[in-house]
Amino acid sequence: MNPENGKPDKTLGPMLLVAMNASVIVGLEGLPDMALYGVPLICLFLVGAVTFLIPVGLISSELAVGWPGGGGVYGWVDSAFGRRPAVLAVWCQWVQILVWYPTALSFGAATFAYIFEPKLAENPVFIMVVVLAIFWTVTLMNFRGLKTSGIVATIGLVLGTILPTLLVILFAAIWLINDHPIAIPEENRGFFPKLEGIRGLAIAAGMITFYSGLEVNAVHGSRINRPRKSIPFAMVLSAAIVLGVYIFGSLGIAFILTPEQIRTDLNVGPMEMFRVFLETHGLGLLSPILAACVCIGVLGHISTWVIGPTEAIRRAARRRDLPAIFGKTNQHGVPTPLLLIQAVVVTAMTLPFLFLKDVSTAFLILTALSGTVYLVMYIMMFAAAIRLRYSKPNIERHFEVPGGMIGIWSIGGVGILISLIALLLSFIPPEVDQVDVGNPYLYVGLVTGIFLVILLIGLLIPMHPERLPDEEDE
């Protein structure tokens, strides 16, 4: 915070924002899932980009430059629909990341095992210790402020995401040049995916969850240098990085690992790909180095999420829309009590996995919950952008979704429609040959019940009858 005027320092430039945007979306843990689809994954990723990533980028860019200091989705929904919907939106954004953390952290822990001994990835005690060490380390690092988080995200993006992806592409090319067999089955070598039945549609709709998060760092609008130029620039460049990493990284894995190998080591797909390639070429000693790089990427990925949604929570608490303790900050403007509460909750959610014989179903339920809750927030965000064109037409917007009212309705409408379809389809259990969830009716009941409880809590969170003005809004 600037001690002279009490407002946040302008600490984020466009390239730092690019790194934070890309880090918050892209993660290598999702590549093995998509590698199972072979060449059609290109089509799936492109469709997801056109129908979801681009609308999110355009809509959030317009809202971020129009309301640069309003707390991200909290401020946007508040301006469009009022206090209670705004609290529900930011609650959904925060809760979805809470239930997502265990899956992302387990990937980081399993990757960390490859530095020492890959078999440690099967040891639940080792995984648990590393998971908690990663999360608490990232939490404490974020106490130093947003600039520190941005630096960690930049290092993690370069060393832990872009570098491994480039190596995946290089290794796949060498694999093909040396006439090694392509691991992609013949039926998965066409461009268009074969999506049969309702579960096939659910798979395609689930693609959009890979692109979630592009709007998160817009919450830092009051800390961004020249937001009207920096935010749209960062959205475009980070989206291009995300698309490149997902497509080429997934394809590289698909070229070298068979679907059976990918399913066996789904949680460590990129590292297993590196191991197979390096050992084939007598370079196995390099595997621990690459594992360390990927772990750095996980740190950057988690770090951006740890600080992003909590900033919106802080803004809401400062206005008395949430409990006051969530709004207390340290000298760096970081809501440390909230970060500590978040870390305790994640710890409590993660510990039970020590005692489960089969955690795949639990992780699948957490992943499904994360997607469904987040999609509710996206529907509210798209609707807010459309409404604000009518209710706040005089707000100066130096970036707008192209096409006037037709453009905002088209882009926002597509976003709402795709999010709604994906939300409904996300309750469908997977095929047994992917993950055996046992009784499918019990699975659907659990996901639906917990989803409704989360929404109900968001709707019933007590608010102070008299809210305070947003002193940080510009």
| Mean pLDDT, residues 310-339 | 84
* Residue position matching structure tokens 């909750």: 345
Q: Based on the structure, what is the number of domains in the chain?
A: 1
Give me the amino acid identity at 317.
A
The answer to whether residue 260 is domain-embedded is yes
| Mean pLDDT, residues 242-256 | 83
The answer to whether residue 469 is domain-embedded is no
Length of the chain: 474
Spatial separation of the C-alpha atoms in residues 165 and 273, rounded to whole Å: 11
pLDDT at 175 over 90: no
The answer to whether residue 427 is domain-embedded is yes
pLDDT at 196 over 70: no
Give me the amino acid identity at 453.
V
| Mean pLDDT, residues 302-306 | 78
Find the CATH number of the domain harbouring 435: 1.20.1740.10
Burial of 371 (0-12, 13-18, 19+ CB in 10 A): buried
Cα R_g (the chain), whole angstroms: 22
Residues 6+ positions from 140 with CB-CB distance below 8 Å: none
Is the separation of the CB atoms in 424 and 53 below 8 Å?
A: no
The answer to whether residue 234 is domain-embedded is yes
pLDDT band at 474 (very low <50, low <70, confident <90, very high): very low
The answer to whether residue 254 is domain-embedded is yes
pLDDT at 433 over 70: no
The answer to whether residue 2 is domain-embedded is no
The answer to whether residue 9 is domain-embedded is no
pLDDT at 2 over 50: no
Mean pLDDT, the chain, whole residue set: 78
The answer to whether residue 287 is domain-embedded is yes
Range(s) of the domain holding residue 275 = 14-460
Q: Which two tokens stand for residue 295?
A: 């772990």
The tens digit of pLDDT for each residue in 64-109 reads: 878 876 678 888 999 999 889 999 999 998 888 888 787 778 878 8
The number of beta carbons lying within 10 Å of the beta carbon of residue 466 is 6
The tens digit of pLDDT for each residue in 455-472 reads: 999 898 888 877 777 665
